[in-house]
Amino acid sequence: MAVTDVLFLCTGNYFRSRFSEALLRHLCRGNPELTVRSAGLQVDPASGNVGPMAKEALEALRERGIELDPGIQPMPRQVEERDLEQADLIIAVDAAAHRPMVRSGFPAWENRIRFWGVKDLGEEAAGDPIVQLEQQVKQLHDELSR
């Protein structure tokens, strides 16, 4: 089955999933058949996230030649069952944090989700999450392009 709908998941749909969504959409811009979306597993308006997307994600995208107008970006969005049903490929960006959230909220989907190992900004992690996400998304793009 060809992948026509990719869904990225992170905790708050603010930094990692949004960066991954925008980068893959940019890399696949020659493929009008592909839909790329993102959502959060625990979107919390009281989390301190300000606006639709992390400034670090916007800046990292800008550095890669991808300009997004934050004024027209949607606000972070909580994943729903129908989002999972629509997707051909679902990627949760941090296995350690997101597998328990999936087990709790969407247990039937755990084995259908691909889990990466990219920590959030400010978490104890080896390496830069932007660089790690970029590498993972580029590998995914190569996989989807075959």
Per residue in 104-144, pLDDT (tens digit) is: 999 999 999 999 999 998 886 678 999 999 999 999 999 99
Q: Is 119 exposed, middle or buried (0-12, 13-18, 19+ CB in 10 A)?
A: middle
- Exposure on the CB side of residue 12, measured as CA atoms within 13 A: 17
Residue type at position 102: V
> Which residue ranges make up each domain of the chain?
5-145
What is the pLDDT confidence band of residue 50, given thresholds at 50, 70 and 90? confident
Per residue in 8-28, pLDDT (tens digit) is: 999 999 999 999 999 999 999
Distance CA 11, CA 31 (A): 28
Task: For domain 5-145, give the fold.
Answer: Rossmann fold (3.40.50)
Closest CA to 18 of 68, 64, 65: 68
